[in-house]
Chains A and B, each alone.
Chain A
Amino acid sequence: MMIRLFTGFYSILKGFKVTFKNMLKKPVTLNYPIVKKPMTDRFRGMVDLVPEKCVICYQCIKICPTAALELEHKVLEDNKTKTITKFVFNGELCCFCGFCGEICPTDAIFLNKMYEVSYFAHKDLLTIDLMRKDKYKHVDGGESS
């Protein structure tokens, strides 16, 4: 009985030792809004587009598992060049799988490094116009190219 009491007490002291040792270690977290962690090269953030590179092959639309992308185009008068009339990204449906970026033959569509993806209004998230230059400017840290 006494032995059990003492071994129990000792095991508790060991726990105290562990927490004390960790108390002296440096914190592993960042002071978040002030210090931000850089994203890795392959990080999959929001879907982004370079409209000039797009060849309107519709591969991204076909591969998207959640149908988050919507693309429409029209053929110009000379019956050769196509032009995008609508390229809308639904941020709510997107599952950030990165298939669209992987399949794109010209790297026009890609996933950028933006990870703070909150919006002020729900409908803004549903219809992100990928053709606009300033599509991700409203959020701090959002970058668009």
Chain B
Amino acid sequence: MSVIFLKGLAVLGFIAVSAMFSIWLERKISAWIQNRMGPMMTGFHGTLQPVADTIKLLLKEDIVPKGVDFLSWWLAPFFVTVPVVMAFLVIPFSSKWIALDLNVGVLYVCSVTSICVLGIFMAGWGSNNKYSLLGGMRSAAQIISYEVPLLLSVLLVVMQSGTMSMQGIVAAQEHGWFILKPHLTLAFLIYFISATAEVNRVPFDIPEAESELVAGYHTEYSGMKFAMFFVAEYTNMFIISAIATTLFLGGWQGPFLPGLVWFLLKSYGLVAFLMWMRWTLPRVRMDQMMSFAWKVLTPMALLNLLISGWFMVK
């Protein structure tokens, strides 16, 4: 019992540090891309900037706007943050560093992370704000439709390795990463695009589209509640990168360096790529995004599943 408790604490600590590091990294990468310097004043090259931001957000007044649907408005940040924490349960940081190696790990992660949409929709509905409502509506449609190609591409990995346990999938990649196999390369691309949409990152950031909807579903949140959305967003980004690492990039395996280092390197590499993408591409439109999911990604994932499944059985 106490071991699980300690593991939980370690996960919480990691989430806090990881989110702060991601925020710092995002600000620095955006600055480098835009020929700026980024945060420079707090700490060495602004490393303590996220800490300062957190303190600022903690000290802010918690404003409850007039006319909110209080229960759903108040609960929404928790619905967004808690599943993110829960997903860490099955992520294998190294051969030993895993909180709990469930035998349905992949299923668990996919089901837990899709609870987030509920929180986002609650935030959009409860805020009693038209921009938030539009953002919440968009988000619900987006996340649910991108769940399909995401699961279809993950299914292929499960078929390939024959197990749903995260450690089992990593072990199956001992003699070559899954991404090196052609059908799984396609699956990786589909997974990565859908996962980007799943966490509302550019070019699929339409729920919080700044130039249209001000801030989307979290327009009315301030202080620590806003911080929770923020932390959830960045931790989500880490989670999809970590899952991609585990499923396609050989997890913690790698020469010379210890497993943990390899895992973090690969995951943060993907996180950095997501950030690079954010500062490069424009945003797609709602209907374009939906038709991309249903007319391109889903058929491709299905076809991929069908063809490679046929070869596997044969």
> Are A and B close enough to touch in the complex, i.e. CB under 8 Å?
yes
Residues in chain A within 8 A of chain B (CB atoms): 5, 12, 15-16, 18-20, 22-23, 25-29, 31, 33
Given the known inter-chain contacts A5-B296, A27-B31, please indicate yes or no for A16 contacting B280, CB distance below 8 A.
yes
> Which chain B residues border A33 with CB–CB below 8 Å?
41
Q: With the chains together, A35 CA to B179 CA distance in Å?
A: 47
Given A5-B296, A12-B281, A27-B31, 18 more A-B residue pairs with CB atoms under 8 Å apart are A12-B280, A15-B281, A18-B280, A19-B279, A20-B276, A22-B33, A22-B34, A22-B35, A23-B32, A25-B35, A26-B35, A27-B32, A27-B35, A27-B37, A28-B36, A29-B35, A29-B37, A31-B40
Number of interface residues of B (CB under 8 A): 16
The answer to whether A16 touches B33 (Cβ under 8 A) is no
Q: With the chains together, A12 CA to B29 CA distance in Å?
A: 18
Pairs A-B, 9 closest by C-beta atoms:
A19-B280, A23-B32, A28-B35, A27-B37, A19-B33, A15-B280, A29-B36, A23-B33, A27-B35
The answer to whether B35 touches A19 (Cβ under 8 A) is no
> Which chain B residues border A31 with CB–CB below 8 Å?
37, 40
Interface SS of B by simple majority = loop
Q: How far is the CB of B182 from chain A (nearest CB, A)?
A: 16
> Which chain A residues border B276 with CB–CB below 8 Å?
16, 19-20, 23
> Which chain A residues border B35 with CB–CB below 8 Å?
22, 25-29
The residue of chain B having its C-beta at the shortest distance from the C-beta of A18 within the complex is B280
Q: With the chains together, A27 CA to B296 CA distance in Å?
A: 39
The residue of chain A having its C-beta at the shortest distance from the C-beta of B34 within the complex is A22
- Provide 9 A-B residue pairs closer than 8 Å at the C-beta atoms, listed in order of the A residue: A19-B279, A23-B29, A23-B32, A28-B35, A28-B36, A29-B35, A29-B36, A31-B37, A33-B41
